[in-house]
Structure 1
Amino acid sequence: MKKIYYLSTCDTCKRILNDLKPLEGFDLQDIKTEPITPSQLHEMKAVAGSFESLFSKRARLYKERGLAQKNLTEEDFEKLILEHYTFLKRPVVLFNDQIFVGNSKAVVDAVKETIHP
């Protein structure tokens, strides 16, 4: 599978997608206009290992809701990601049986090396 979940209104996502070109064969899904489904999220979790690893603790809503002060469970992370796109750490790149989550330099470099060896 070659799929990228991203946010079209996010300048960082746009920059990363541009850096990853060419993206031949990749299915791109803008999570704002086409929300992720429970089955898609479970597919990501199966490769990533947990919902927490897919969860963005930098999201504005995370701070606004005071979620840092709560002891969130895997079920909570799943529910929150499905509730609002901002809780998904992005971009998420699925490439064959690998997953790359987030926008750190190390993750982006790993994606580049994997999809364009």
Structure 2
Amino acid sequence: MTKLYGIPNCDTVKKAKKWLTNENISYDFHDFKKQGLEQNKVESWLAQLDWQKLLNKRGLTWRQLDQQTKDAVNEQNVAKLLVAHPTLIKRPVVEHNDQVSVGFNDAQFTALFKD
């Protein structure tokens, strides 16, 4: 089963949902802003992804953090920060066949769902 994590009003999440629907790929959507995230889930993603790829430094949530928090973020504490502020996660995160992918573009999704 494919699981898509994100927030429903994110344009990139909308594109990913549309792509999955157009390709007739069923998925479950997890709104991590409303439903939250467990630390072990984020840690499982970080086992496959570089933490700097998962952390969204372009969004409003990042800009609103105090400078001390921004300066202190590292591989050891990023999971805790992402659980506390799920909108810091680059979207969407997709779990498919024991693989984790972050972000969206056609080529990336075509490769992920080639089976």
TM-score range, shorter chain: 0.7 to 0.9
Unpaired runs of 5+ in structure 1? none
Runs of 4+ aligned residues of structure 1 deviating over 6 Å after TM superposition are: none
Match status 1:96 vs 2:97 = yes
Match status 1:87 vs 2:88 = yes
The aligned residue for residue 112 of structure 2 is 114
Deviates more, 1:39-48 or 1:69-78: 69-78
The aligned residue for residue 47 of structure 2 is 46
Return the alpha-carbon distance in structure 2 between the equivalents of residues 12 and 72 of structure 1. Answer: 25
- Structure 2 vs 1, CA of residues 69 and 40 (structure 1 numbering), >3 Å: closer, same or farther? closer
Count of matched residue pairs: 112
The Cα of 1:27 is off from its aligned counterpart by: 2.5
Aligned 8 A contact 1:54 1:101 in 2: yes
Return the alpha-carbon distance in structure 2 between the equivalents of residues 40 and 51 of structure 1. Answer: 13
The Cα of 1:82 is off from its aligned counterpart by: 0.6
CA-based RMSD of the aligned residues comes to 2.3
Q: Quick one: percent identity of the two aligned structures?
A: 27
Aligned 8 A contact 1:92 1:100 in 2: yes
* 3-state SS in 2 of match to 1:74: coil
After TM superposition, the score normalised by the length of structure 1 is 0.78
* 3-state SS in 1 of match to 2:47: helix
